[in-house]
Chain A
Amino acid sequence: MSKTIPRATVRSAPRTQVPRGLGRRLFVVVYFMLLLLPIYWMINMSLKPNREILGGLTFYPHELTFDNYRTIFTDPTWYMGYVNSLIYVGMNTVMSLLIALPAAYAFSRFHFLGANHLFFWLLTNRMAPAAVFLLPFFQLYQNIGLYDTHLAVALAHLLFNVPLAVWILEGFMSGVPREIDETAAVDGYSFPRFFLTIFLPLIRSGIGVTAFFCFMFSWVELLLARTLTSVAAKPIAATMTRTVSASGMDWGLLAAAGVLTIIPGALVIYFVRNHIAKGFALGRV
C-alpha cells in the first residue's frame, strides 16, 4: 500500500537538484541517444520506402511514406497476426490471474505440508528453457486437437506465467495483514465476498503488475507460439518472418511491424509504471 503524502509536505521538502553543468547534461543526452537509437532507427525505417533504405544512409525519411503501415492495417494476413497474438496473450493473462490468485492466497495465508517446497518448485518451472517443452506440447496438442488454436498457445504459456504470477501475488498478499481477513470474518463477510470486495482492491497494484508480467512474457515468446500454430492462430512474430521472399526482404514493412509490436507493451508499462519495481522484486518490498 502506498501512503499518500500530503501536498504541502512534498512542496516543502528539499528538491533534488537536476544535474547542472554542460558535462553532465551532455552525458545524459548521449546516454539516452544511445539507448533510443535502435528504436529510432526502426521508426525511421518504417517510414521509408525500401528504395531509400537500401539506397544509402539517411538519418530521417527523405521520402516520407506510410505505405508500410497501410499494408499492415489492410492485409488480413498481417493484422490477423496482431489479433491472434492479442487473443492468446489476453487469454493467457486472464487464465494466469484466475489460477494464481487463489494459489497465491493459499501460499500467503495457510501453512500446509510441503508448502515451502511446493512454492519453490513452482519457480523451478521457469528454469527450464521453453524448448524443452516444445516436443511434448506439440505432440499432445496435435493428438487432442488443440494444435493451431489460440487456447493452445495460452495454455502452453501458463506453464511459465502461473509460477511467476503466484510468486508476485504472494508477495503482495503477504503485505496485507492477516488481521484484515479476520476482521472481515468477524464483521460477517463470507469468504468470497471478502476476497472480491475487500482483499482484491488492496492488492490492485499487485494484480496490475502481475498482469503486465504475464502479458509481456506471452507477447514476446516466439518459440512455443510459432510451433503450436500454423494458420488460424499465427502470432505476429511468426508473420514477420513472411517478409523474406523471393524478391528479397521487405525492410520497411518489417520495421513497421516491429514498431507496432512495441506499442502494446509500452501501453501496459505506462499503466503499471509506479509498481513495476515492486513486481520485479516479486512483491517483496
Chain B
Amino acid sequence: MKLELQGVSKRVGAESYLYPLELTLTTGLNVLLGPTLAGKTSLMRLIAGLDKPTTGRVVLNGQDVTGVRVQKRSVAFVYQQFINYPSLSVFDNIASPLRVRGGLSRAQIAERVQRAATMMRIDPFLGRLPAELSGGQQQRTAIARALVKEADVLLMDEPLVNLDYKLREELRLEMRSIFSSRDAIVVYATTEPYEALLLGGTVSVLDKGQVLQSGSTLEVYHHPDSQRVGEVFSDPPINLLGATVEGSQLRLESGVTFPLPRHMQALGPGPYRLGLRAGHAGLSPAHGEVAVPATVELAEISGSETFLHLGIAGVPGVGQGAPTHVVAQLGGVHPFSVGQDVTLHLNPKRLFAFDPGGRLRAAPERGVAAPA
C-alpha cells in the first residue's frame, strides 16, 4: 500500500501550518519526528481527512482521496489524549467502528473485539466504562478501537505522551511488534528521537511545517542531511562546535587543533560547524584523543545518567568569542560543582561536519567502535 502526499500544504489565515510538501508513506511503520509545532498533527489530520489541504492532493493506492469525507476513508486515528466514548463500555467502544460499518454478524464482531482487546491486554475490562480504567488502559482501548477497524491507514498522534514512563516503555515495545506485523500504513508522530529509533521503520523529520528529510530511521540518524535534522533527531540536541579546516588540520573555536579525521579528508578549507552527539562526548581519554578544556555549567542527573552542560571558552578573534555550549551524556551518577574545570574528550571520528548553510558535508563512518 502506498500513500502519497503531492504538494500538500495547509494554511489557516495568514499562518502556514504546512508548506507544500511531497511525502510517500508505505506499508509498515512510518514515524513523523519533529518538535512541537512542527506540523505533525496538521499533517496527520490532512491524511485522515479531518482537515482539507489548502493545496495539493492525497493519493492512496493510486486513488485521489483528497475530497473524500472522513467517514468514507479507510483510516483510524489515535489521539494523544485518551479519547473514548465515555458512555459506552470498553467492549462497545472497540466494537463501534465495526457496528457502524455493518456487514458483520454479532459473533464476528465479538470475536474481533476479543482479539484486539487481548492483543492490547484489556480483555478483563471489556464490561467497564472508560472512566473506570487507568490512563494506560484507556489509551489501550483507543488503540484497540483503531486496530479493530483494520484500516489501510492507521494514524497515531503521540499516543504515549500522556502516559507515565513505565507504561510508555511497555506499550512502546508492544506497539512495535503489533505494527510490524500489520498490513497497513502506520503513521506514528513523536517528538522523541529515542522513540523513533526504537520503533524503527522509516522516519520523516519535520520542522516548522516542512519535511526536512525522509528515509529509513537508521539512515537518517546516521546521515542527517542538515544541521536542523541533527538537532531534532538527537536528544539532547546535537552539540555544535564552530571549527575551521586549515589544510589537513581542524581548528576548533577554542583554539584546539587536531588532524582531520579520515571521513573529513575531502573537506575544503573554510569554516564549518561540527556536530557531536552528547553520548559521544566524555571526560575520560577513552572517549577520544582530542582534549578540550571546559567549565561545568550545570549537571543534570536523570536516573542512571548524568547530563553535563559545559561551556567551552572561545579564543577571542576566532568565531564569536562567546563560550560554546556542549552537553555530555555520561553513564552513572557523578557529582560536579558548577564552575569546575574539566577536560572534555571527544573522538574526531564521531564528528559530523556541516557547512555554514547547515548542510551535511561529512558524516562519521558507520561501524566506528562505540566509546567504552
Contacts and interface: CB of A to CB of B under 8 A. Distances in A.
A198 B87 contact: yes
A188 B71 CA distance: 4
Contact of B83 (A1, A4, A183, A193): A183
B76 interface: yes
Interface in A1-55: 1, 3-4
A63 interface: no
A202 interface: yes
A3 B131 contact: yes
A179 B85 CA distance: 10
B132 A4 contact: yes
Contacts of B149: 187
Interface in B61-80: 70-71, 75-77, 79
Given A179-B79, A182-B77, A190 B71 contact: yes
A211 B71 CA distance: 33
A185 B70 contact: yes
Contacts of A183: 77, 79, 83, 85
Contacts of B85: 180, 183-184, 198, 202
For the residues of A in contact with B, the DSSP-based class is: helix
Interface residues of A, number: 19
Interface in A174-221: 177, 179-180, 182-190, 193, 198, 201-202
Nearest to B69: A185
Contact of B77 (A186, A189, A193, A198): A186
A190 B85 CA distance: 15
B7 to A, nearest CB: 24
Given A186-B76, A187-B96, A188-B100, A1 B81 contact: no
B323 interface: no
B83 A180 contact: yes
A189 B100 contact: yes
B131 A186 contact: no
Which one of A179, A180, A184, A187 has the greatest number of beta carbons of chain B within 10 Å?
A: A187
B166 interface: no
B68 to A, nearest CB: 12
Contacts, number: 51
Given A182-B50, A190-B71, A201-B87, A4 B81 contact: no
Nearest to A176: B86
B366 interface: no
A129 to B, nearest CB: 41
Interface in B38-93: 48, 50, 70-71, 75-77, 79, 81, 83, 85-88
A185 to B, nearest CB: 5
Interface residues of B, number: 23
Contacts of A185: 50, 70-71
B131 A4 contact: yes
B225 to A, nearest CB: 34
Given A3-B131, A189-B71, A202 B87 contact: yes
Contacts of B70: 182, 185-186
B14 to A, nearest CB: 16
Given A4-B131, A193-B100, A198-B85, A186 B48 contact: yes
A1 B71 contact: no
Which one of B70, B71, B96, B149 has the greatest number of beta carbons of chain A within 10 Å?
A: B71
Contacts of A3: 131
Nearest to A179: B83
B113 to A, nearest CB: 13
A4 B83 CA distance: 18
Contact of A1 (B48, B86, B88): B86
Contacts of B101: 188
B145 interface: yes
B319 interface: no
A193 B96 CA distance: 12
A188 B97 contact: yes
Contacts of B76: 186
A99 B70 CA distance: 27
Contacts of B132: 4
B86 A202 contact: yes
A116 B100 CA distance: 35
A159 to B, nearest CB: 33
A190 B70 CA distance: 10
Contacts of B81: 177, 179
A204 to B, nearest CB: 8
Interface in B118-136: 129, 131-132
B271 to A, nearest CB: 48
Interface of A: 1, 3-4, 177, 179-180, 182-190, 193, 198, 201-202
What 6 pairs across the A-B complex have the smallest Cβ distances?
A: A188-B100, A201-B87, A187-B97, A179-B83, A185-B70, A186-B77
10 contacts: A4-B132, A182-B50, A183-B83, A184-B85, A186-B50, A186-B75, A187-B149, A188-B100, A189-B96, A201-B87
Given A1-B86, A180-B85, 9 more contacts: A1-B131, A177-B83, A179-B81, A183-B83, A184-B85, A186-B50, A187-B145, A189-B100, A193-B100
